[in-house]
Every structure is written in C-alpha cells, then in structure tokens.
Amino acid sequence: MTRYIFVTGGVVSSLGKGIISASIGKLLQARGYTITIQKFDPYINIDPGTLNPYEHGECYVTVDGMETDLDLGHYERFTGIRATQANSVTTGKIYKAVIDKERHGDYLGKTIQVVPHITDEIKHRILQHNDEVDFVISEIGGTIGDIESAPFLEAIRQLKWELGNRAVSVHLTYVPYLKAADELKTKPTQHSVKEMQGAGIQPDVLVLRTEKHLSDNIRQKVASFCNVDLECVVQSEDLPSIYEVPVNMQNQGLDAALLRKFGVPVGETPKMEGWHHFLELQRTATKEVHVGLVGKYDLQDAYKSIRESLILAGIYNHVKVKIDFINSENITKENVAEKLSNVAGILICPGFGQRGIEGKIIAVEYARVNNLPAFGICLGMQMMVIEFARNILGYKDANSSEMADTPHNVIDMMEEQKTITNMGGTMRLGAYECQLQEGSRAAQAYNAAATSPLSPLSSHLISERHRHRYEFNNKYKDEFEQNGMMCVGINPESGLVEIVEIPSHRWFIGTQFHPEYSSTVLHPHPLFMSFIKEIAQ
C-alpha cells in the first residue's frame, strides 16, 4: 500500500522544494515509515553529468553510479536513504526510454505521443517503487507554468485520479513582502494554484515560503482562495539553517496534515532526539573556524556537498565552520601566503580541465611546506600528487594526462577509459571498495567513527563513491612512498590508489573518491570529522 506525495513549486524557482521534500521524508521516517524520494528534472540532458556547475550546481553521485541533481544530496543527508538511479529522472531519460521502445517495436502500429506515451513512462517511473516503501515522495523540478513541466503535471493529474487517497499533492509557493506597502502578498500564490488547477490538479497542501512571519489571517485567506484546508497551509520562513526546517514543519503539523489527507491514523508526534541533539549542537557551536575552499567556481551550489560536509563535521566538533572561497585562478606564488593567511586548513576541490589547476598546486605546496592541514578531493588529491612529484621527486614537468602529456604523467588515464568516445555517464562512477592501510591516519579516522554506517565494513574495508577518469599512476607508487607520500587506500580488485597521505604532516590527505557524498546529518563523514577536529584545536 505505497502512498505517493507529489511536490511541485510555483511563482519562482529556488524556493527549496528539495529541502521540503527531504524534510517530509525525515518526518515520515521519524514516525516509523519507510520512504524514498525521487527527483524529476524537466531538462533534456540524460543526466547533469555533462553540465557545467554554473548551469546546475554540483553534480551528485549515487552509490550505483548515477550522476544526479544536487537535491539528491539533500535527500540523503536529511534521511540517510541511499538513492539509486531510480531516484533521479530527467525528461531526456523519459524520451530516450520511449524512443528506444519505439525503435524496438514495442508500440508497433501506434503514433507515439506525449500523452499517453511520455506520461505513461513518467507514471511508470513514479510507480516503480510500489510496495518497496510506505511513501514515495516525487519532487518535480522547475516551476509550474514552464512548458517543460507540462507532461509531468499531466502524469501527476492522472495518478491522483487513479490512486485516489493514496496520492497527495504538496505545492510550494512564494509570498513576497512589499516594503513600500508594508504588506505580504498572496496573489502570486493564488495564481500559482490556479495554474495547478488549470492542469487539473488541486493542491492538498500548500507550503508558503516567506521572509516574514505570516499571520493566521493570511493563511486563512490563502486557504479559502485556494480550496485548501487551513491546517494544510503551512509556512516556511527563512531559518538560520536548513536543518531547522524539518522541526519547523513538524511544529506546524505538516506531517500530521499529510497523514490525515491519506486517511492514516496520526498518532503521537515523534521526538526526533538525534535530530534535536544535532540542532542543539549547531546552536551552541560559537567558536569560528575558517576553512579555505580552493576551487574555481565561486557559486554556493557548485561544491554543495563539500560545504555541507564541512559544516556538519564542524557542528559535531563544536565549532562553526566558516568557508572562505579561494579562487584558485587567482593564486600565485607571490600571494599564496596572504590568501591563506586567514584559514586554519584548506580543502582542494574536485574539478575538470586545466583552468585554475596551477593555483591549486601552489596552494597545496604552501600547505605541505607550512604544515597547514590540507584535504584534497578527487582533482584535489591529484593536485597533491602532482605537487609532490614536482617539488619532492623533482619531476618539474609532472602532470595529469588530462592536462598535458609529459614524460611524467603521475596521474594518468585509467586503462578502461582509453577507448571511451561518449562523454556522458562513462567515468568511473559510483561506489567502489577501498582497503585502508592499518595505522594510517585515514584508517584512524574511519575507526573513530565506529558506530557510523560509514565505518569500515570489516577489516579496514570501506566503500566510497567515485567520479573521475584519471588515477594515480602506479608506476610511481614506490618512489612516492620512499619519499614520504603514502598510498594508504587501495582498491582491492584493481590495485588503484584511492587515498594518499603524508604521515609526517599535521593532516594531509587526498582521496580519489568523494567522501562528501556520503556525509549525513546524523552521521558526518569520518574524514571530514578528522580534518575539522585537527583544525578546530
């Protein structure tokens, strides 16, 4: 008896549908229900894997190797679920599936149309979790009224009709405050709901995003203009942290209202002790610690999971992490000391291509020489390796073959990548096992998180997510180790180096994988915990 919650947004984008979807998931879980959350993105790319972060923020990666929207990161961080490719669907994927079926002859004799073929494929993707979980939350990307969203709305309309009280529609809108009139305006919400009604969908629950508190009168007005019960009109005010949102929604009875809509007994309000403990730690962490985020995209969303992982690890270490973005394109040998003068440690970001890498290498050198804690992720780890090769092993031309073919490609393309011609979805993606070297700093970090689901599965074996084509070149492994950079995490099947560290340094670890994808609110990632612990002292 799986039940379905459809989350849509109106008026403007960036209202935080992902946070609301994740919060609903969290609140239902707290009541003992199993859930999953899926994201429908109305663009034609098959996945965001080939998108520039300026277009779409970070690309998140699931354990089964799907490149997805960053909202999947919110879902996992809030609820601890492990999403798979079924949780992330784009218009491109839908059309590709339908066109492949058409070529295969599955619809012989028929004209293929948006309705019913595209809408049926969307419905199939929503219903594929049937009987797996108690609730499926389906978030529709984009804003109501967009041409691209129309097939998704039609699919929801049909499902609401077919599923009866097993389907509920949650619509998020914006209530702007007009300073000159000193008034909060509900008209955009009314229009947005009309748009939904025009598509044949009556929203059951309205979540009103607002910068100012909405009075009961305003909620009442919205309820009566929009045919929604008053208890189903909740407000989502700006809060100091996104992690306050589930509790704020619970306080307004959003989960109870949803359950009543489904005709499910509401029962007692769950206490969510773990979550409240976390919020308490967050509120009481006052000491500030500055981390330098060395990357090339000066955009909040570009390194979303890394930012959240740093903040979460900070909270559990009783400090408030302040992230100073440092554009690696502007780092030079002359200014590096000044640029890093304010930070207690640096994180060298993942990335692709030549732009900004020399600045990253200079930052790594500065951190290595000055014993400044440094954490390199993916391209960041590769830069640590290149810097070491250039300045310690003496290979001045050392580089990654992604950037330049030199006699010393200490980072090289993986063998299986050499024959690849299609760029989309063909990197080394998803979770791979990694054997940690006993006694290493990395192993100590993972062992310190013994109660976390992220701790070693057994005998120092961990599993982490990847997204890259290039790797540490094993030809140089002995030379690196003899000179003090140790390869302390190895893939047991392929022998690929997944973690390097310099044991003589305060904290200097690079991971070829992306630990940031598996940090959650209740279980911050062990490496982030260890890094922040070191710099919080």
Where on the chain is the footprint of ligand GLN (CB under 6 A)? Answer: 350-352, 378-379, 402, 467-470
- Judged by beta carbon, residue 319 or residue 383, the one nearer ligand GLN is 383
Per the DSSP assignment, residues forming a β-bridge with 390 are none
For the bound state, the minimum distance from the C-beta of residue 420 to ligand GLN, rounded and expressed in Å, comes to: 12
Of the candidates 139, 131, 95, the residue with the CA atom closest to the CA atom of residue 6: 139
Out of 59, 232, 349, 378, pick the active-site residue.
Answer: 378
For the bound state, the minimum distance from the C-beta of residue 350 to ligand GLN, rounded and expressed in Å, comes to: 3
Under 8 Å between Cβ of 37 and 137? yes
Residues 518 and 308: their CA atoms lie apart, in Å, by 11
Q: Which phi-psi region, left, alpha or beta, contains residue 278 (left: φ > 0; alpha: ψ -120 to 50)?
A: alpha
Q: Is 514 tagged catalytic?
A: yes
- Judged by beta carbon, residue 348 or residue 436, the one nearer ligand GLN is 348
Out of 387, 408, 516, 523, pick the active-site residue.
Answer: 516
For the bound state, the minimum distance from the C-beta of residue 406 to ligand GLN, rounded and expressed in Å, comes to: 16
- Judged by beta carbon, residue 95 or residue 375, the one nearer ligand GLN is 375
How many C-beta atoms lie closer than 10 Å to residue 346's C-beta? 27
Q: What DSSP string describes 353-385?
A: SSTTHHHHHHHHHHHHHTT--EEEETHHHHHHH
- Judged by beta carbon, residue 337 or residue 404, the one nearer ligand GLN is 404
3-state secondary structure of 41: strand
For the bound state, the minimum distance from the C-beta of residue 430 to ligand GLN, rounded and expressed in Å, comes to: 13
Out of 129, 514, 523, 525, pick the active-site residue.
Answer: 514
Q: Is 516 tagged catalytic?
A: yes
Question: Using the 8-state DSSP alphabet, how is residue 437 labeled?
Answer: P
For the bound state, the minimum distance from the C-beta of residue 468 to ligand GLN, rounded and expressed in Å, comes to: 3
The token duo for 487 is 């390869």
For the bound state, the minimum distance from the C-beta of residue 451 to ligand GLN, rounded and expressed in Å, comes to: 29
Residues 332 and 166: their CA atoms lie apart, in Å, by 59
For the bound state, the minimum distance from the C-beta of residue 389 to ligand GLN, rounded and expressed in Å, comes to: 16
For the bound state, the minimum distance from the C-beta of residue 421 to ligand GLN, rounded and expressed in Å, comes to: 16
Under 8 Å between Cβ of 441 and 501? yes
3-state secondary structure of 47: coil
- Judged by beta carbon, residue 4 or residue 472, the one nearer ligand GLN is 472
Under 8 Å between Cβ of 427 and 468? yes
Please write down the HEC assignment for all residues of 207-267.
EEEECCCCCHHHHHHHHHHHCCCHHHEEEEECCCCHHHHHHHHHHCCHHHHHHHHHCCCCC
Which residues does 478 contact at the CB level (< 8 Å), separation at least 6? none
- CA distance to 270, 289, 307, 534, per residue, from 323 (Å): 34, 8, 7, 16
- Judged by beta carbon, residue 344 or residue 427, the one nearer ligand GLN is 427
- Judged by beta carbon, residue 345 or residue 350, the one nearer ligand GLN is 350
Under 8 Å between Cβ of 39 and 88? yes
- Judged by beta carbon, residue 383 or residue 442, the one nearer ligand GLN is 383
Please write down the HEC assignment for all residues of 488-505.
EEECCCCCCEEEEECCCC
Residues 119 and 102: their CA atoms lie apart, in Å, by 15
> What residues are annotated to the active site?
378, 514, 516
